[in-house]
Amino acid sequence: MIIWSGWGMLSALIAAAGLVVSVLLDPALARIGIPTPTGVVLVWVVAAAFNWWLGTRLNDLPGRELVDPRTGQIVILRGRHTLFWIPMQYYPVLMVVLGILSVLGAMHGGSPGRKAGQAARAHTPAASNPLRVAVTGTTPPKWLNGGREVAWASTSFRG
């Protein structure tokens, strides 16, 4: 359940748009030689700046003054633009934190001990000893360098 007042829902939409654009922009920038986290940083900084500007502009609009006829007190009515009771202009702090976490995730490649940009490799005993295939209809081969035979099947393929 999302709770907002006024235009506060725009903060969530700006964050979602920032996420989508950073996912699309970062690989495009990497293809032309710009380092990977640059697109993420750029998008989150722009989204945070835009959200702060829009939130301060909307929440600082002048209110409407009303006078209570019984007491003579002046009451100012203002529209508030909040998301989960937090004014829009404070969400850029969260966006910057998300941007920092995205950069850290991009730099570490998602798994411990692996440098950024390295492809994941299967870490099984079979990966270090590739499967050797023999041609059918011959005698079992004698492997060089002490290689071991995984299986020997006598099948023929005829087209």
| Main-chain phi, psi angles of 99, to 5 degrees | -65, -40
Instruction: Count CB neighbours of 50 within 10 A.
Output: 16
Q: What percent of the chain has pLDDT over 70?
A: 68
Question: Contact, 54 vs 60, CB < 8 A?
Answer: no
pLDDT tens, 30-46?
888 887 777 888 888 89
Tell me what pLDDT residue 37 has.
78
Tell me what pLDDT residue 114 has.
47
* Strand order across the 4-5 sheet: 4-5, 82-83, 86-87
Helix axes 91-108, 37-59, angle to 10 degrees: 180
